[in-house]
Amino acid sequence: MIDAARAAGVPFSWFTADEEFGQNKGLREHLQKARISYVMAVPKNTPHTDPATGEPIQLQHVAVKLNHTAWQRRACGIGTKGFRIYDWALIADADADHQYMIRRSIDDGELAFYHCYNPGHAGFGELLNVAGAAGPSKNASAPPRTRSASTNTRSGSTTPGTDT
């Protein structure tokens, strides 16, 4: 679909996706080969290479080591209850084209993690806007959503279960 959109000349600057797609190594490699910038949610156990030590460390362990000054309170979009405001930290990677963001809920401290492929070296604000465009990140291990009681899958005035 991505290649078809590019071939058709559909303009886009960023690719964004939830954790299910964010952990797809083949998708990330394809986007990187095509130099398509992305911000994708990733699991908390995603390894990141610490630029200071060159050692791999899981993002969940990076989050607990961050100094309070590493966090910035920023809005990443507008939701049904107003601005979606979180604390955010931007984490450098050993590869300058890659960064990670950690989002912390100001209500309950819940964390979400994002992998950013940023070959154009866009600023933190733009990365936040891209992350916010996808809406709130959901944990891939969370229970699946159920349909709303108001969902209507019928069309027209047919009787349910018939074509008339």
Taking the chain (164 residues) in runs of 10, the rounded mean pLDDT of each run is 90 92 94 96 94 92 95 86 90 94 95 97 94 61 40 40 47
Q: What pLDDT shows up at residue 132? A: 85
Residue 92 lies in a domain: yes
Tell me, what's the pLDDT at 86?
Answer: 95
pLDDT of amino acid 47? 93
Rounded to whole angstroms, how far apart are CA atoms 68 and 160?
Answer: 57
In a domain, 156, yes or no: no
**Domain total for the chain?**
1
Cα–Cα distance measured from residue 117 to residue 32, given in angstroms and rounded to the nearest whole number:
7
Query: Is 140 part of any domain?
Result: no
**Cβ-contact 101, 39 below 8 angstroms:** yes
Residue 86 included in any domain: yes
Query: Rounded to 5 degrees, what are φ and ψ at 117?
Result: -100, 115
Predicted local confidence at residue 142, as pLDDT: 43
pLDDT of the residue at 134: 66
Cβ within 8 Å of residue 113, ≥6 positions away: 41, 42, 43, 44, 46, 59, 60, 63, 100, 101, 102, 103
Model pTM? 0.78
| Structural domain that includes position 46 | 2-133
Q: How many angstroms separate the Cα of 122 from the Cα of each of 34, 37, 106, 130, 144?
A: 17, 10, 25, 11, 34
pLDDT for 76: 81
**Is 152 inside any structural domain?**
no
